Amino acid sequence: MLRTRRSLRHRATPALLLAPGLLLFLVVIVFSALRTFWISLHAWDGFGPMTWVGLSNYAELWGDPQFWVSLRNNVIWLAVFLLAPPMGLAIALLVNQKIRTMRLAKSLFFMPLVLSTVTVGVIFVWFYDPSYGLLALLFHAFGASPPAVLSSDTWVTFAVVFAALWPQVAFCMILFLAGLNTLDEEIIGAGRVDNARGWQMLRHIVLPQLRQVAFIALAISMIGALRSFDIIAVMTSGGPFGSSTNLAYQMYQESLFSYRFGYGAALATVLFAIMMVFIVWYLLRLLRDERSA
């Protein structure tokens, strides 16, 4: 009797400890995701009655030119954000040198991470300003007329991603710096004994030990690229005429400005499906590493 109770308690403890988190996860994430999918099958203005329309929101997405622009922009975000981990690594290697002023350099590189995205966006809007911005001054210095990058439907997305890349690189740098601090001194020592130096040391001794960190940096950059929203809102509001809108921003506009919550939910579902690919990949890697460890 006593034993069964004890074993019950033994088994119940982890379940009880997991329960609050699990409950929150079910309500906030799983329920919301399912509900979003349910809404995407309806036409709904946000507070009137919901009308069942089946998959027609998705069919409309297919024929909506803005959807393809948003999708293209998400691909640009993903591609440019691929640069964040290698750039972060390069800077981490640079500031990891034992030189006196490096501490200052390190904190300068770290700075964008403390700034809120809104601040970063505002700073870059000033930077790009075609009449008074730093970029304009640079162009004037060379006698050229500055481009209005935020007004150009070709360049605007790149201009916004570039601004967002700044804190992202800093974030990757921090990850790699932490990774560099946990390097196994013995392996490095062994490498030194075998006369490994410079590039060889980096390629064969340091990088293999940073694989785990690199993987996390890459996965987080990808997911960050997909959920980017705030900096677009601050810098361009998705404009000019929707050229810098991505799926997340289009979802916000359709739902809250055009009052088309069903259509917005369909966009959210598509975005979720794309993100799922990266999340599943990330989780599978994580599980595999945990099992092999």
Partner 1 sequence: MTRNTLNRRRFLAATAAAGTSCLAAPLYAQSRELVIISDRGNPDQRAALTDIANAFGREAGVRVSLNNMDHEAHKTAIRNYLVASPPDINFWFSGERMRGFVKRGLFSDITDLVEKNGWADVVPAMSATTVDGRIYGLPTAGLVWGLWYRKDVFDSNGWTPPRTAEDFLSFGQNAREAGMTPIAIGTKEMWPAAGWFDHMNLRINGLDHHRALMEGRIAYTDGSLTRVTDRWAEQVKAGMFLRNETSYGWEQAAAILAQKKAAMMDLAGFIIYGFPEADRAQLRLAPFPTYDTGIGRYEDFSVDSIHIPSGAKNPEVARDFLTYFYQPDRLWEYLKPDGNLPARTDIDVSSDPIMVESRKGLVGVDGTSQYFDRDTDPDVAQAGLKGFQEFMVRPERASDILAGIERARARAYGPL
Nearer to partner 1, 177 or 266 (CB): 266
Separation between Cα atoms, residue 129 and residue 146, nearest integer Å:
9
Draw the binding track, 142-161, toward partner 1 (x: CB under 8 A; -: no contact).
Answer: ------x-xx-x--------
Task: Identify whether the C-beta of residue 126 lies closer than 8 Å to the C-beta of residue 150.
Answer: no
Nearer to partner 1, 70 or 168 (CB): 70
User: At closest approach, how far in Å is the CB of 72 from partner 1?
Assistant: 17
Instruction: Give the residue, chosen from 129, 134, 191, 230, that forms a contact with partner 1 under the rule CB under 8 A.
Output: 129
Nearer to partner 1, 46 or 189 (CB): 46
| Token pair 């300068």 in the structure block, residue | 108
Task: Identify whether the C-beta of residue 170 lies closer than 8 Å to the C-beta of residue 120.
Answer: no
List binders of partner 1 among 260-289 (CB under 8 A).
Answer: 260
Draw the binding track, 40-69, toward partner 1 (x: CB under 8 A; -: no contact).
Answer: ------xxx----------------x----
For residues 46-73, b (16+ Cβ closer than 10 Å) or e, as one string?
A: eeeeeeebeeebbeebeeeebbebbbeb
Instruction: Give the residue, chosen from 108, 256, 277, 287, that forms a contact with partner 1 under the rule CB under 8 A.
Output: 256
Separation between Cα atoms, residue 134 and residue 145, nearest integer Å:
13
CB count, 10 Å around CB of 236?
A: 22
Return the closest-CA partner of residue 265 out of 72, 44, 77. Answer: 44
User: At closest approach, how far in Å is the CB of 136 from partner 1?
Assistant: 11
Footprint of partner 1 on this chain (CB under 8 A)? Answer: 46-48, 65, 129-130, 148, 150-151, 153, 237, 239-242, 253, 256-260
